């Protein structure tokens, strides 16, 4: 049984927690981390696991064998550094980084440590995507694929950052790569459009 430590219990983090607890038979949620001690402790009690209010303590927890980080990407470089130094596998929720420099720092840390790490493009494991891939050959060669996603502005408590929709482009790109079994060299073009609806 793999002991997983989860950093972040917001929208995505809570989804990860439920998935680990309810759906995985070969892994267990052994620790969670949230900046808010009352909310984090309450969640830890509900999931019957340990609570840490500092990600470094979660990473150092001997019961944590792998780490999932579901926090805003500004926190990723420090979390990746700590997890790689501990030699523990890491799954980082997209988006990976907010700048090229931060992404390069993360890549260097992972490469130097030899730790296993991935960005959470977990859609490739989704049953709908798997079914589409399995039946593509039955419909015809794929010449075009259209995907649409509605992106909601980030509304993180205490955040003064302007809401961005970059994660959606990562999602659409991951969806395309997940569904299309052809190597990327066979893709002739890939385009993205963005629009804003004021409601």
CA pair distance 111, 105, nearest whole angstrom: 10
Q: How many residues are present in the chain?
A: 199
Ordered by start, the domain boundaries in the chain are 2-120, 124-186
Query: What's the confidence (pLDDT) of residue 109?
Result: 93
Q: How far is CA 151 from CA 7, 154, 191, 197, in A?
A: 23, 9, 17, 10
30's tokens: 């052994």
CA pair distance 79, 5, nearest whole angstrom: 12
CA pair distance 8, 90, nearest whole angstrom: 14
- Sort 46 into a burial class: Cβ within 10 Å, 0-12 / 13-18 / 19+: exposed
Q: Would you write out the chain's pLDDT as a tens digit for each of its 199 residues?
A: 999 999 999 888 898 899 888 888 899 999 999 988 999 999 999 999 999 999 999 999 999 999 999 999 999 999 999 999 999 999 998 888 888 899 999 999 999 999 999 988 666 666 777 777 787 777 766 666 666 655 555 555 544 445 444 444 444 444 445 545 444 445 555 555 556 555 5
Confidence (pTM): 0.69
CATH number for domain 2-120, candidates 2.60.40.10, 1.10.150.120, 1.20.1630.10, 3.40.50.720: 3.40.50.720
Q: Which residues contact residue 37 at a Cβ distance below 8 angstroms, ignoring those fewer than 6 apart?
A: 51, 53
Query: What's the confidence (pLDDT) of residue 25?
Result: 85
Query: What's the confidence (pLDDT) of residue 85?
Result: 95
Strand partners, 69: 7, 92
Nearest to 151 by CA among 171, 127, 133: 171
């Amino acid at each position: 049984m793999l002991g997983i430590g989860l950093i972040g219990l917001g929208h995505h983090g809570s989804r990860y927690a439920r998935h680990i607890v309810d759906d995985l038979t070969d892994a267990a949620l052994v620790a969670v981390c949230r900046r808010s001690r009352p909310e984090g402790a309450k969640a830890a009690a509900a999931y019957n696991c340990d609570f840490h209010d500092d990600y470094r303590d979660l990473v150092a927890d001997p019961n944590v064998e792998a780490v999932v980080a579901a926090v805003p990407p500004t926190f990723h470089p420090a979390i990746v550094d700590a997890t790689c130094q501990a030699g523990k596998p890491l799954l980082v929720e997209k988006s990976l980084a907010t700048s090229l420099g931060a992404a390069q720092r993360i890549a260097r840390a992972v490469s130097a440590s030899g730790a296993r790490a991935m960005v959470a493009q977990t859609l490739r494991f989704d049953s709908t995507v798997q079914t589409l891939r399995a039946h593509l050959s039955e419909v015809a060669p794929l010449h075009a694929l259209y995907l649409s996603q509605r992106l909601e502005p980030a509304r993180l408590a205490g955040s003064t950052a302007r809401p961005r929709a970059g994660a959606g482009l990562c999602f659409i790109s991951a969806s395309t790569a997940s569904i299309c079994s052809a190597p990327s060299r066979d893709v002739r073009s890939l385009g993205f459009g963005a629009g804003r609806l004021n409601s």
